[in-house]
Structure 1
């Protein structure tokens, strides 16, 4: 599809978004996110032919929060893949992203790596290998390499220390999840170090354009289309996309699959990364959330894009 067509589509979507009055609620339980304007909206689409279209606030950095779980899982899969699936499930949870309910009945094994408990286990696996500071460095290096730089003066992908500190000071439920899993032996490293790695992971800050570029390996069967480096094996790439489809929007994943029909991963910062295999990597940001913790207008924007392009995997 020509870039000009995508530019027109994104302009149309942005125009529709601007007319919508109810925009959801920001994640005010994390102080730095509470001050983000509900008027913000950005969207970027990077296609397999190398073009990238964008609209709105697509160049402004935002906290990607749980979208980072994709990259942490990718990093973990490059090594101890067998250990991961002994300690984390691969099924939808059907409960909120920070729920502790299932852990007791399922012996401290989280349902999947995209709920908070599962992501904390992934952080524990990575921390045992690299150390808390090492995980931050590895993850930042991976995402920076994947996102590249193609805009003059573009701020590099970074970890926002103020956001990480706020996550730590307000993340009591995440602390409870980690301590509870430690009782079952599923957190094996120092809890505080594992949580430090997790909170810093969630504080990754980047723009829609950077996020869409970073997701290109997922649309290209695990291969970075710029460097040609294998980021994930084809089998691991399919696994990540399947988990994004089934679990990427927590207990609203089924509704997202029906409405949008693409593998996607949301974060409470209002970002969503969606992948049209072999076609495009799409990032959208609108900080207002629905009751399930997913971007309200971001979901609408992706639904409209799929309606315009026919990119759903179910067609």
Structure 2
């Protein structure tokens, strides 16, 4: 059965109190100027349950830059539109390299390993941009995210998007290499302008936890993208949602999740919970240090790991 709501809330309160005193918090993402100034002392965690209740502790109402977590939503739209045709352009394998590796893309001859590394997300953005303007594409993406979380107060931080465009030289290199391999249809600057704005979406933990309900299987509009696509996204979140740290995350936490360099993590436990955690300090893989630790502790407390073996 697992713990009840009161037990989970008490656990979250104790966890937040403990993490407030943590001395090791990781390092904030310094290569994006707008993220480099975020206070690493923030910590929040929200757990959305199938009955609609949301259990929270810490800084769960403060918006933060979701960054690569947005790749989950763009992938959902792309799969809804393209279906399995998308996999001709993007792979489904874990990566052994950093999320922004040019070397891996060259080794794969312009077909990114998965849609969560930067090159793969750029191709996914190109797919949803096809036949539309960047403004129309971003409006569709925001509409999807707002519908997913049931809250219209979700916006793009223009300053963050502009900062990413100014400093996104590695992403420009990836886009131009994709273009040279005929795996990018729209102009590079058009795709990247859309991609940077997508990553600059801001959400709170409470909003993000609610948005994950369609992946956990208990969103009021369950068929937002169709069950087969939900299964595909959850599988990719498990195997590739934390870049080259995905294996370690699966081992220690054991649930599908997607991280972002803003310090957020969206995690889903099918039919049981949708979870969002935020702590800006990152580990060596570019994933939230305390966020990862929080999910590991929560997974062990609840028995929500997909690899948990029930005692008989």
2:193: which partner in 1?
A: 196
Partner of 2:194, secondary structure, is helix
Shift of 1:129: 3.3
Q: Aligned ranges for residues 171-186 of structure 1 at < 5 Å?
A: 171-186=168-183
Equivalence for 1:96:
98
Instruction: Quote how far apart the aligned CAs of 1:211 are.
Output: 0.2
TM-score (norm 1): 0.95
Q: TM-score, normalised by structure 2?
A: 0.96
Question: Partner residue of 2:124?
Answer: 122
Which of 51, 54, 60 is the aligned partner of 2:53?
Answer: 51
- Rounded to whole Å, the distance in 2 between the matches of 1:79 and 1:192 is 23
Paired residues of 2:148 and 2:219 also in contact (CA < 8 A): no
CA distance in 1, matches of 2:219, 2:178: 38
Q: 2: CA distance between counterparts of 1:115 and 1:129?
A: 24
User: Is contact 1:271-1:284 (8 Å) kept?
Assistant: yes
SS in 2 for 1:272: strand
Q: Which ranges of structure 2 fall in alignment gaps of 5 or more residues? A: none
Q: Could you list the per-position Cα deviations for residues 190-217 of structure 1 after superposition, in whole angstroms to 9, with x for gaps in the alignment? A: 1111001100000000100000000001
Among 274, 277, 284, the alignment partner of 2:277 is 284
Equivalences for residues 15-94 of structure 1 within 5 A: 15-94=17-96
Pick aligned residue for 1:156 from 153, 157, 178: 153
2:215 paired residue number: 218
Of 232-241 and 243-252, the range deviating more from structure 2: 232-241
Partners of 2:110 and 2:238 in 1: how far apart? 24
CA distance in 2, matches of 1:130, 1:58: 34
Aligned-partner Cα distance in 2 for 1:31–1:287: 14
Aligned-residue offset at 1:24: 0.4
8 Å CA contact 1:270–1:298 kept in 2: the answer is: yes
Residues of 2 paired with 1:229 and 1:4: CA distance?
27
Aligned mates of 1:116, 1:129 — CA distance in 2: 22
Runs of 4 or more, structure 1, over 6 Å off, are none
CA distance in 2, matches of 1:195, 1:258: 34
1:210-237 deviation line (CA, Å, top 9, x unaligned): 00000001000xxx622x2511221111
131, 134, 137: which is aligned to 1:132?
Answer: 134
Whether contact under 8 Å (1:3, 1:52) holds in the other structure is: no
Q: CA RMSD in A?
A: 1.1
The Cα shift of 1:130 comes to 2.4
